[in-house]
């Protein structure tokens, strides 16, 4: 063991099943403290907010977008608005509820937009995703990303691995090809097929709803 490395307090990993209070993870005391700091010194308060919520929000967002970079961009964007528009002054319920709701809305929009558009590999229009009507039921958010997860699970092994390297880690096609000793063309095809499969799977369940929105809008 390296004595120069601190013993991290791994309270995050401890759980106390069966109890409804949250002794296993940071209490609401932190939120009161963050709120006070934000009002007194917004920049410092934002740092506390990052320390407190950035990790769980990113790891939640990634379920919708499957790309760590996009997930982090979405969360940072929410934090930025939170700060510049001084939303922290206006929130009456918890910051946590606000932030998670915002992440879920954005994640939902992103995913719906992704299902709509064509399966191009070059797709960097992520922030102009249109606003979809948000579902009425909270459980639809889980259903949507859990469907995507199921679809990924069904992919053949190598295709899944290639897809995740490309989508989640953001690894360039060329690098994946080099590591696997395959041509870039093969990698591109694999990614394309993976996307198509996921899309078909998810669309089969969500398309009627999608169509309905279009009719209502136009």
Partner 1 sequence: MKPTISRDFIFEYLSGRATSIQKQLIDKWVKDPSNEDAFYRYLEEWERLHPQYVVDVPEGIRNFRKLLKETGPAAKEEIPPAAPARRRSIKAWILAASVVLLLASSAWFGRESILYTAYRTNPGEVKPYELPDGSIVTLNANSRLTVSRFWAITGDREVFLSGEAEFKVRRTEEGRKFTVRTDNDVEIVVLGTIFTVFNRHQRTAVTLNEGKVQLTHQVGNTTKTIEMAPGDKIMVEANRPAIVESGTDPAKTTLWKEKRFEFDQTSLESISGVLNDYYNLKATFADADVRALTVSGSFVAANADEFLESICLLNGLRCQKSGQIVTFYKENH
Secondary structure class of 136 (helix, strand, coil): coil
Work out whether 80 is an interface residue with partner 1 (CB under 8 A).
Answer: yes
Question: Interface with partner 1 by CB under 8 A: which range of 17-25, 120-128, 178-186, 193-201?
Answer: 17-25
Closest-CA residue to 100 (of 142, 129, 67, 128):
142
| Pair of tokens at residue 134 | 């948000």
Work out whether 12 is an interface residue with partner 1 (CB under 8 A).
Answer: yes
> Phi then psi for 110, rounded to 5 degrees?
-60, -45
Q: Residue 18: left if φ>0, alpha if ψ -120 to 50, beta else—which one?
A: left
Q: Which residues from 173-212 bind partner 1, rule CB under 8 A? A: none
| Pair of tokens at residue 135 | 């579902």
Work out whether 105 is an interface residue with partner 1 (CB under 8 A).
Answer: no
Work out whether 94 is an interface residue with partner 1 (CB under 8 A).
Answer: yes
| Longest Cα separation, the chain | 65
Nearer to partner 1, 68 or 159 (CB): 68
Work out whether 165 is an interface residue with partner 1 (CB under 8 A).
Answer: no
Among 35, 74, 88, 96, binds partner 1 (CB under 8 A): 96
Closest-CA residue to 145 (of 184, 178, 105):
105
| 8 A C-beta contact, residue 173 and residue 191 | yes
Work out whether 8 is an interface residue with partner 1 (CB under 8 A).
Answer: yes
Note the residues at the interface with partner 1 (CB under 8 A): 3-4, 6-9, 11-13, 15, 17-20, 22-26, 29-30, 33, 36-37, 40-44, 46-48, 50-60, 62-63, 68, 72, 75-76, 79-80, 83-84, 86, 93-94, 96-97, 100-101, 137-139, 142-143, 146, 149, 168
């Amino acid at each position: 063991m390296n004595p120069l490395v601190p013993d991290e307090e791994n309270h995050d990993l401890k759980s106390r099943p069966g109890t409804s209070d949250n002794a296993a993870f940071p209490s609401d005391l932190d939120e009161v403290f963050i709120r006070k700091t934000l009002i007194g010194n917004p920049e410092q308060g934002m740092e506390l907010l990052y320390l407190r919520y950035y990790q769980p929000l990113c790891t939640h967002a990634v379920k919708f977008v499957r790309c760590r970079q996009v997930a982090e961009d979405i969360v940072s964007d929410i934090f930025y608005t939170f700060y510049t528009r001084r939303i922290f002054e206006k929130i009456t319920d918890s910051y946590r509820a606000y932030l998670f709701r915002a992440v879920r809305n954005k994640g939902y929009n992103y995913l719906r937009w992704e299902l709509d558009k064509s399966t191009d590999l070059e797709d960097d229009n992520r922030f102009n995703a249109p606003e979809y009507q948000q579902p009425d039921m909270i459980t639809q958010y889980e259903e949507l990303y859990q469907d995507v997860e199921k679809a990924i699970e069904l992919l053949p092994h190598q295709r899944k691995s290639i897809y995740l390297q490309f989508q989640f880690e953001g690894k360039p096609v060329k690098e994946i090809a080099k590591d696997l000793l395959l041509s870039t063309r093969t990698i591109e095809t694999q990614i394309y097929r993976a996307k198509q499969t996921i899309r078909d799977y998810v669309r089969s369940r969500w398309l009627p709803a999608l169509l309905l929105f279009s009719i209502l809008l136009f």
